[in-house]
Structure 1
Amino acid sequence: MTSPGYDQARVERRRREHERQAVVFGVLIAFLAVCGIFALAVYSGAISSPFNRPFTTVGAAEQKTYPVPCLPKVKGQPDGALPASYSDVQVRLLNASEEIGLASAHETVLADRGFSIIAKGNVPVQLQESEIRFGRKGIVQAYTLAAQFPEIRLVLDDRKDRKIDLLIGEEFEAPLDVEDVELTADQPLRNAEDCVPSGDIEPEKRIEPSATDDEDQPAK
């Protein structure tokens, strides 16, 4: 036979357990409610998410967005500028990443296609994406080289000649296969989307390499 004292103790113990459970469930429900309100605010745009940030490459400089110059009018080509002959495109291959050997790898592909590789080297900057840098006289040459890649940045700088630089970044895109290059000698080049007349663009300062010729070292 159970004593009245024992029954009372058991009832009191169950009451305390129920109180603890009520507190725990209350805290959980309140936490979920707060999370729901926060998620709704983020979804509606009332506040910005603390996790909404782009991926970046460690050690690579943030790259500006540059206006892309339109193709120039060329005498004798009334329908638009035709691609430059590959042999007339003089290119310096400059490593702008921590990887070694990128200039040489690009040289193999581009030289086989007939581009004139005049130097290899590295620049004292690190870039995420590859860039083609050129002056106003080298716009057609730059577009011709750019057609070899699925996507690449075009940057007008203050050089005065037709030579162009290919700065190879950390997240470089390899050249397209020859059959995928959409260039035909007798078909005019197409302007980049949202291009700007070159005369309306303030050229960037030319990036001088820290070493050229046979160098193919990581960028400092």
Structure 2
Amino acid sequence: MTSPGYDQARVERRRREHERQAVVFGVLIAFLAVCGIFALAVYSGAISSPFDRPFTTVGVSEQKSYPVPCLPAVKGQPDGALPTAYTDTRVRLLNASGEQGLASAHETVLADRGFVIEGTPGNVPMLLQESELRFGTKGIVQAYTLAAQFPKMRMVLDDRRDRVIDLLIGENFDPPLGVEDVELAADQPLRNAEGCVPADEITPEKRIKPAKEGEPDEVQPAK
């Protein structure tokens, strides 16, 4: 025969087990409810997800910042350098995005405006996020004229000796502005880029050589 004391102990033990189970299930239900509310808020845009970050393309690194050269003094233009005629601006188009076809698309727009396209669009053995203009000291005015065709453009002075400008088209390129949105006038001086540095105070970068046709596509991240 079971003693009353033993029955009472068993009842107490079951009661404590039920209480623990109720606490555990209560915590789980509350946690799931909070998760559901948080997920709904993220989905609706009320708050940002802590895991929300932009995708990074493998092989594409942050581009180095370069000083932008100031416009030079031009003989016969005492108020400042005027834009060059588009027909006097020679441009070489180079793909630095890893995607085919971008250089050709730029070629059509710029050629229609009168820019002189040097050769056929090519590639450079590097990947860039943002497009760049690369030019020498003899092509600064031409580079400013070309840069005005875009919403924004990185400008890099290199050690070339001619006036040809290389347009390196990056992954996050901006297409050229519409003709009506280009803020240039033949009789209005160009404006220096903010924070520009006199060209003779800049150490030019080494000129980048395009990849030769038939060479393997071994691209390196931009440095």
Tell me: CA distance 1:17–1:200, structure 2 relative to 1, closer, same or farther (3 Å).
Answer: farther
Q: State the 1:78 CA deviation.
A: 1.2
Match of 1:67 in 2: 67
Aligned residue for 1:107, secondary structure, equals helix
Structural mapping, 1:81-92, within 5 Å: 81-92=81-92
Distance (Å, rounded) in 1 between the aligned partners of 2:207 and 2:25: 65
Match of 1:186 in 2: 187
Identity, in percent, stands at: 68
Match of 1:29 in 2: none
Q: Deviations over 1:139-160 (max 9, x none)?
A: 0000100001111100000001
- TM-score normalised by length of structure 2: 0.77
**Paired residues, what number?**
195
Distance (Å, rounded) in 2 between the aligned partners of 1:156 and 1:56: 27
| Amino acid in the other structure paired with 2:95 | N
Match of 2:33 in 1: none
Match of 1:157 in 2: 158
Structural mapping, 1:131-170, within 5 Å: 131-170=132-171
Aligned residue for 1:190, secondary structure, equals coil
Match of 2:44 in 1: none
Aligned residue for 2:84, secondary structure, equals coil
Structural mapping, 1:27-176, within 5 Å: 56-119=56-119, 120-176=121-177
- TM-score normalised by length of structure 1: 0.78
Cα RMSD (Å): 3.1
| Amino acid in the other structure paired with 1:130 | S
- Contact 2:125–2:217 (CA under 8 A) maintained in structure 1: no
- Contact 1:97–1:218 (CA under 8 A) maintained in structure 2: no
Aligned residue for 1:112, secondary structure, equals helix
- Contact 1:96–1:170 (CA under 8 A) maintained in structure 2: yes
| Amino acid in the other structure paired with 1:149 | F
Aligned residue for 1:63, secondary structure, equals coil
| Amino acid in the other structure paired with 1:128 | Q
The unaligned stretches of length 5 or more in structure 1 are 27-49
Runs of 4+ in 1 over 6 A off after TM superposition: 20-26, 50-54
| Amino acid in the other structure paired with 1:110 | L
Q: Deviations over 1:131-189 (max 9, x none)?
A: 00000110000010000111110000000111110001111111111111111111111
Distance (Å, rounded) in 1 between the aligned partners of 2:188 and 2:72: 15
Distance (Å, rounded) in 1 between the aligned partners of 2:95 and 2:150: 17
